[in-house]
């Protein structure tokens, strides 16, 4: 069940995605929060540090015109960006993950679900959807309607 803080963290993700995401196709932000409500890590969907960002013309996917949802690991829709969840996990120290909550404002893909499960995050708050991997993981999976 979502509590007041969960709603606040999702609102934080929505606002932060609009500010920080450099992807021209999707604005996604993720935050990992410890049980004491301190931020352990954050991430947005974007290219590795030092690379030309998508919104600066550095993305072959954006220039290709491929439809959303198409393969992003090969041309013509190749995407250089890492997903927000992956960046949040890699930009933080895993201390406290067993008691932490990961919030993300868009549904995690299969690869991100694997990474979240592998990091042993205690709670995951995501938009309602089909989460084949996370539903099998021992974390508490909280789903909210995307309209929130």
Question: How many CB atoms within 10 Å of residue 73?
Answer: 8
Residues contacting residue 47 through CB under 8 Å, at least 6 positions apart: 22, 53, 54, 58, 59, 80, 81, 82
| φ/ψ of residue 114, rounded to 5 | -60, -45
Is 99 tagged catalytic?
A: no
Report the candidate in 90, 132, 120, 83 with the shortest Cα–Cα distance to residue 104: 83
- State how far the Cα of 143 lies from the Cα of 131, in Å rounded to an integer: 10
Per the listing, tokens 């021209």 go with 24
Question: What are 40's two structure tokens?
Answer: 């352990």
Active site residues per annotation:
85
């Amino acid at each position: 069940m979502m509590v007041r803080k969960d709603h606040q963290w999702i609102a934080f993700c929505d606002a932060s995605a609009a500010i920080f995401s450099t992807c021209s196709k999707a604005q996604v932000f993720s935050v990992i929060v410890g049980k004491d409500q301190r931020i352990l890590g954050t991430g947005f969907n974007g290219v590795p540090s030092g690379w030309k960002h998508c919104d600066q013309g550095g993305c072959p996917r954006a220039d290709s015109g491929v439809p959303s949802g198409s393969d992003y690991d090969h041309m013509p829709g190749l995407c250089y960006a890492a997903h927000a969840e992956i960046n949040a996990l890699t930009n933080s120290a895993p201390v406290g993950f067993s008691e932490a909550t990961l919030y993300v404002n868009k549904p995690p893909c299969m690869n991100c679900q694997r990474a979240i499960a592998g990091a042993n995050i205690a709670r995951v708050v995501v938009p309602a959807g089909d989460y084949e991997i996370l539903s099998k993981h021992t974390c508490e999976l909280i789903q909210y309607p995307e309209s929130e």
